[in-house]
Amino acid sequence: MPKLQLVKKTKNYNDIDLNNWKEYGHIETGTLWTFSSRARNNGHKFDYHGNFIPQIAEQLFSRFTRPKDIVLDLFLGSGTSAIEAVSRERKCIGVELKPELVEKVKEKINTNLVDIICADSTSADAKDKINNSLKKFGADKAQFLVLHPPYADIIKFSDKRKDLSNCSTTEEFLDKFADVARNGYDCLEKGRYAALIIGDKYSKGELVPLSFLCMQKMNEAGFKTKSIIVKNIEGNEIGKGRTNNLWRYRALAGGFYIFKHEYIMIFQKNK
């Protein structure tokens, strides 16, 4: 007697066949992610300090998107989200503040599956441009949202006043991030997911829980928190070899611990 073929069982936000869930061992379902080094395939390069590792995009897009879905990244940077989206037959709309970086990414990723916008992600202008990009793709909303903001003033990414890394206080940073979160919420399809990749910081001898303060801003924008993932940051640092011992001394002398992790926070827009 022929074996019955099960109908593919999937969620509306990915193409994972739940009837064959054991075949997806490569997809993380735990809240601790460890990667020994950053992936360098598919055109990824570590030529821009501050970009997140490609494995994060790989995991998130596999878990929360389908082919032809639109990924919206409001801090595109050097284009990690765009590269991974294209390699998985997704589309990507990226917003980046620095014009020179926009041109660099356009040269690197020359495809009609990606639309890159030069704008301030906190602004109404950025939201209008995103809506125009969505229309180009024949859509009203994006299906997944990526937010990887500067970790406040830890790294200065430009001299632009609108750059969140140039905020003079944590409060100013959070106010601007709240504007970005609201823009992202408005441009995301109902019931779909968002990811915030961020770490904490020290300031004047005190820990500033930047990640959880941003999580609160996401909740205030309307998002529901689904998961908090801890990811080690090994393989995503540059030039620390010579200063590693110095930081160890400072930690012992100052009574604090050196950050070895950052967070990937998963949210959902209400249906």
Q: pLDDT (tens digit, 0 to 9) for every residue of the chain, 271 residues total?
A: 566 667 889 999 999 999 999 999 999 999 999 987 766 666 545 455 557 899 999 999 999 999 999 999 999 998 999 999 999 999 999 999 999 999 999 998 999 999 999 999 999 999 999 999 999 999 999 999 999 999 999 888 888 889 999 999 999 999 999 999 999 999 999 999 999 999 999 998 899 999 999 999 999 999 999 999 999 986 545 544 556 688 899 999 999 999 999 999 999 999 8
The DSSP secondary structure of 125-188, one letter per residue, reads: HHHHHHHHHHHHTT-SSEEEEEE----TTSS---S-TT-GGG-SSHHHHHHHHHHHHHHHHHHE
The DSSP secondary structure of 83-121, one letter per residue, reads: HHHHHTT-EEEEEES-HHHHHHHHHH--STTEEEEES-T
Confidence (pTM): 0.91
Assign domain 52-233+241-269 one CATH number from 3.40.50.150, 3.40.50.980, 3.40.50.12780, 3.40.470.10. 3.40.50.150
* Both structure tokens of 160: 């632009």
Longest dimension (CA), the chain: 73
pLDDT, position 20:
95
Domain extents in the chain: 52-233+241-269
